[in-house]
A and B are shown apart, each in its own frame.
Chain A
């Protein structure tokens, strides 16, 4: 396998940065996320970052178009597309799978141009995991933490080295551009550590179909605060709201993340709210992840990254809920 010393990884990124805007997992204040690579970037390669990479493709706030409204006319102006080719280095299996989920929503039944534009110009170098975090459970969701779906290049964490394996044609080109800096070595990919969380999701989507009216939802939703932390740190949650800012004749339409945990999310113009309490909101979140999405796209809308478990102020744990569904009569 082609490898490089971990201490020299910046040399590779510098080479790649000549052709791509390189995005890497890094520390950001008291949290960590994917940010553009620069000289002072404090990269984080030991573990996955706390915020998912979804905002690279689907920013929390994204301008859609400008408009000018005069008396009886309206002019619409498209916004210029910013930036060229980009590359994410160090994206983990769980987050790669989340792109597969987002692709289903934004690319298969109709095309979301905003998402597609960014997705098409982004190359992906996935990085294998060696040790699961306390809240990781990707294998329970059917993923391989050392082999990501959809990556152009799979990189392997080999301790003090990183190994590279091209997967796609684009991946081969990427490797060709950095080949001079890599050396060929025979390596053994370290075995993956023990997971603290193991959960069996087999049969859960089918069983949930008949559990819409289950009293279980009353019970599990009681402690929920209906904040949006879980949905905003989720790599797969993709709901958005369209809003506008208007100053005189000029306006901008933009979209921004929304959360099914918020009461306003389903608030109707006439005042009716079909999901009036936390019970309906919590139920929707788990039904969407574990049933509706499976029925629509034949895959779970959870990749086992564990971020929601990590941030929930009241320990609303999706794996515990999966177990509860399994055990329900």
Chain B
């Protein structure tokens, strides 16, 4: 990965010097050995800040929204999940493909920073959950590709075991399970703000005057928030797992998203969001063959 870091810096330098983009979005070393964090490079002399290691876990796609109204091109380094995030934004007409220069990297799977913090430098650090389940470690969209492909064996098939476990619960057990979890929610909105499928200019949850969602923190409001968000990203969630990773109180947020993904697969056929920016969304249109059990 160190060799690739050198290549990343060289490529970023070229991009900036040749004026192929005004800014390069990548990762730099954070304040501890187990943290690499997003960085924005505007000047060729700053490319030394860029790194590529097994802690580059953040999905960078969301930052493209910050450049929506800024003139000029943006270069972005992508892993498999970042690439699907970029596709997400292109498909949702949030980002103009022409405006983005995508540099792909084969992802070896990122390590779990929370575990690293606990276990220390000499221990074997496991991959973060979202990477263990990842089926697309290779970027599926890029203009330039650095390094070699095949750094990680993709997971075979979607793992719905945790969903199946919840489906086995009684209604009361399910209610208790989700109440307990969402009771903890601080409504900090980290999950929403990191999500590449959350791109509304004005979010429903910020319109407190509308009365949709009260500002009071209670299980009812918190669950309304969780369920509404899950349904809003239904069919668009790229399974990058960032929502769950960033939750400060460790709510298993991906459970709702995965349940919806499972249902979409069952009702409308297997679908993976963020693979084809031109494709139709499973919930974005109507077909005569669509199931209509409730009609």
Contacts and interface: CB of A to CB of B under 8 A. Distances in A.
B190 A245 contact: no
Contact of B181 (A29, A60, A259, A314): A29
A309 B188 contact: no
Interface in B54-76: 58, 62-63, 66
Interface in B111-156: 117
Interface in A296-329: 309, 311, 313-315, 317, 319-320
A231 B190 CA distance: 12
A214 interface: no
A51 B249 contact: yes
Given A313-B194, A315-B37, A264 B246 contact: no
A292 interface: no
B250 A31 contact: yes
Interface residues of B, number: 38
A314 B215 CA distance: 25
Interface string A214-226: 0000000011011
B88 to A, nearest CB: 16
Interface in A36-64: 50-51, 60-61
Contacts of B256: none
A61 B218 contact: yes
A227 B217 contact: no
Interface in B1-56: 30-32, 35, 37-40
Interface string B206-248: 1010000011111000000000000000000000001001101
A30 interface: yes
Given A31-B184, A61-B216, A313 B208 contact: no
A225 B63 CA distance: 9
Contacts of A225: 62, 190, 193-194, 246
A315 B250 contact: no
A313 B245 contact: yes
A5 interface: no
Interface in B247-272: 248-251
A114 B31 CA distance: 39
A11 B115 CA distance: 34
Interface of B: 30-32, 35, 37-40, 58, 62-63, 66, 117, 180-181, 184, 186-190, 192-194, 206, 208, 214-218, 242, 245-246, 248-251
8 contacts: A31-B248, A61-B218, A134-B117, A225-B190, A227-B192, A228-B190, A256-B215, A313-B242
